[in-house]
Structure 1
Amino acid sequence: MGLKYVVKKRVFGFDKDKTEKYVAQNFTAGHLDFKDLCDEVTKVGMAPSGAVKFVLDALIDTLNMNMNKGISVQLGDFGCFRPTISCKSQDTAEAVNSGTIRRKKIIFTPGYKFRDMLEKVSISKLEFSPVALSDNKEEGGEGEGEDPAA
């Protein structure tokens, strides 16, 4: 199956000309919620669904507790979760403080199994009907077409 992408028009505002260019944007084929994930792990791992949910909930709580302490958490071959921040640059070291922090986030670095999957996965363009393009443009859109996921 592999990964799919769609072509999207982007306006780059870093120059005064507001340059329009086209980029490939990942197309997510769906969403797997927590309950369905637990059901799939139950089937693959042959563990009771209650045990799977309990262990995953405990894992999330443990990740939360440790990352809240500033600790990176390595989950074996799965990968590593680490807390990080980004902040606004300042002219002097003294001007840097907690108020200059813009965002706190968690970075996931995949383990070797995921890296191998990404190296081997096929990538193809998701094609959809040109009618969707003209329909969307008439409704005040930018002519990018409807989201094929909708």
Structure 2
Amino acid sequence: MPVKYRVLELANPRDRQAPKKFYAKAVKTGDVSLRDLSKEMIQQSTISSADAMAVLEMLTQLVTKHIQNGRIVRLGDLGNFRLNIKSRGEETEDKVSANSIIGQKVIFTPGSEFKDLLKLTKFEKVAGGVTEEA
């Protein structure tokens, strides 16, 4: 099934006076929960629903724990998860402290097999007005 996209006309955020341009944006068609993944796992294997859910819940807890401890979590062909932080610039090195950190996010880097599968993705343009996304 192809990934659907629509066209948006957007302004350049760095130069609001520049002419707007048109961009393709993926259309989200829903979401998949851990429970949904669990149901798919039991349909494609011999494990029980409880076992599938337990494994997914434990994976979530362990990934979070290791990320919080500064580790890169490598999940084979799926990819890697790591923490990235953003901080304020300080005048001197000794002024940099935990209070300088103003944001954090988890970075996902897909594994080679995941990247190869993404290359096979097909796209389909959907009808819809050209609008500016907020």
Q: Is TM > 0.5 for Structure 1 vs Structure 2?
A: yes
Task: Note if contact 1:88-1:101 (Cα within 8 Å) is conserved in structure 2.
Answer: yes
Whether 2:131 is the aligned partner of 1:144: answer: yes
The aligned runs of 1:83-94 (5 Å cut-off) are 83-90=83-90, 92-94=92-94
- Relative contact order (C-alpha < 8 Å, sep 6+): which is higher? 2
Q: What amino acid does structure 2 have at the position aligned with 1:79?
A: G
Alignment-mate amino acid for residue 118 of structure 1: L
Q: Which runs of 5+ in 1 are unaligned?
A: 134-142, 146-150
Deviations, residues 11-33 of structure 1 (Å, cap 9, x unaligned): 22322526422211111122112
In structure 2, stretches of 5+ residues that fail to align are none
SS at match of 1:53: helix
Deviation at 1:7, TM superposition (A): 0.8
RMSD of the TM alignment (CA)?
2.3
Pairwise CA distance, 1:95? 5.0
Q: TM-score when scaled to structure 1? A: 0.75
Matched with 1:137 is: none
Greater mean alpha carbon deviation, residues 71-80 or residues 89-98: 89-98
Which amino acid counterpart does residue 144 of structure 1 have in structure 2? T
**How many residues align structurally?**
132
More helix per residue: 1
> What is the alpha-carbon distance in structure 2 between the residues aligned to residue 76 and residue 83 of structure 1?
18
- Assess, with a 3 A threshold, how the Cα gap between structure 1 residues 98 and 10 changes in structure 2: closer, same or farther: farther
Please report the TM-score for the alignment, with normalisation by the length of structure 2. 0.83
Identity %: 28
